[in-house]
Structure 1
C-alpha cells in the first residue's frame, strides 16, 4: 500500500513537471480534477491513469502526435507490474474523443476505462468545461464566433484533429461538448453529465441572444 501511495505522489510530481506552462485548459489542475472525479465515480484502481492521461496529449506535442513514452517510462521506473502498466496505457491511448468522433459507441473496454474517460469528459462540460473551452480557444488564436463558419458535420478523426482548418470556439460546443453527455460509460457519469449539459445549453442560448443583440 505504501509503495502505491509513493507512486501516486511521484505521478503527481511528474504531472506538475510535464504539464507546467500549458494553458489552463489542459494543465496539472485539470489532471488533478479528473483524478478526483474518477475516484468519486467509482473506487477502482484508476488513480494513475486519471493523473497521467494528458501528459502525452497530441495537442501539446511538437509533431502533433500522441506520445505515451514519458508515462510508460515512469511506470517502469516505479516498478508498476506489467499487467497494470499495460492497462493504464490502454486507457490513456483510447480515451480521447478523437477515437469516437465517427463510431459513437457507448461501450467501455473495461470498467476502469469507463470511469477515467467519464471523469475526463465531465471536466470538459459544465462551468469548468466552458472555461476550459474558451481558454484553449484563446491559446490557439481561434475566432470566438462567426455565423458564416458553421459547425462541421460527420467529422472524421483526421478532420477533427486538423489544427490548420479555420474554426471557432463556439463551434466546439456543437462538434464535441454537446455530444459528450450521450457518450458517458458509467451510470454515475451519465447522472452528473445531465446537469452540466443543461448548463452549457443555457450558456450557448444566452450567448447567441447577446451576439444578436436580443438580450
Structure 2
C-alpha cells in the first residue's frame, strides 16, 4: 500500500513532473513523456495493490526520473539517469537515504541492466516499465522503434519472441504479473495473426 505524501514531497513531485515534461521528447512514443506518464500511472496502480508498505515519494520520483537521460539510445541510460537524479534531488534537500533508494530503483529498472531490484519501490518501477512494453501500447512502441531504426517486419517479429514475450517472467509483484500475463496474451494473439498474414 502507498504511504501518504507530505506537503513538501508533493511540491517536489510537481516540479519533477514539470521537469520530465520539459526534458523528455514529446513525440517519441517509445521513450518519451507519454511513456513516463504511463509508467507513473502503472506505479500508482501496482503500489496501491501490493501488501507491502510503499514509499510513495520514492516510487513516484523514481518513475518521473527513470528515463531522464533518454536523449539518445545509450545502452546504459539507467546509470546516467540515476546520477542525474541524485544531483537533482540533492538540490531539493532530499534526505540522502531517500536519494539512494530512488537512485537504486532507477538503476535496477532496465531489462538489460542485470541489477536485481532490492526494494519494493524498485520492484514496482521495474514491473511498470516492462509492462508498458507489452500489450497494445507495447506493439505500437515496437513498430515505432522499428520505423525509427529501419528494422524490418521480420526483425520486429523476432524482437517480440526474443524480448517482449519474455517480460512477463521478469515481474516481481503479484499485480505486475497479472497485468503482464493479460497483456502478453494479447501480444500472442496479434503475432498469430501477423504470422498468418505474412505467410499467406
Q: Same fold (TM over 0.5)?
A: yes
1:79 matched residue in structure 2? 93
Give the whole-Å Cα distance in 2 for the aligned partners of 1:182 and 1:197.
10
Residue in structure 1 matching 2:153, options 144, 147, 169: 144
Distance change >3 Å, CA 55–CA 202, structure 1 → 2: same
2:171 matched residue in structure 1? 184
RMSD: 1.8
Q: Structure 1 residue 34: deviation in Å?
A: 0.5
- The answer for unaligned runs of 5 or more in structure 2 is 1-5, 49-53
2:199 matched residue in structure 1? 212
Residue in structure 1 matching 2:16, options 5, 11, 28: 11
Task: State how 1:140-179 maps to structure 2 within 5 Å.
Answer: 140-145=149-154, 168-179=155-166
TM (normalized to structure 2)?
0.85
Give the whole-Å Cα distance in 2 for the aligned partners of 1:64 and 1:194.
27
- The answer for unaligned runs of 5 or more in structure 1 is 146-167
Give the whole-Å Cα distance in 1 for the aligned partners of 2:183 and 2:7.
36
Between the two proteins, the alignment pairs up a number of residues equal to: 184
Give the whole-Å Cα distance in 2 for the aligned partners of 1:41 and 1:65.
26
Distance change >3 Å, CA 64–CA 96, structure 1 → 2: closer
Task: State how 1:27-176 maps to structure 2 within 5 Å.
Answer: 27-43=32-48, 44=54, 45=56, 46-57=59-70, 60-61=71-72, 65-66=76-77, 67-68=80-81, 69-100=83-114, 108-145=117-154, 168-176=155-163
Cα pair 1:23 1:136 within 8 Å, conserved? no
TM (normalized to structure 1)?
0.79
Give the whole-Å Cα distance in 2 for the aligned partners of 1:54 and 1:63.
11
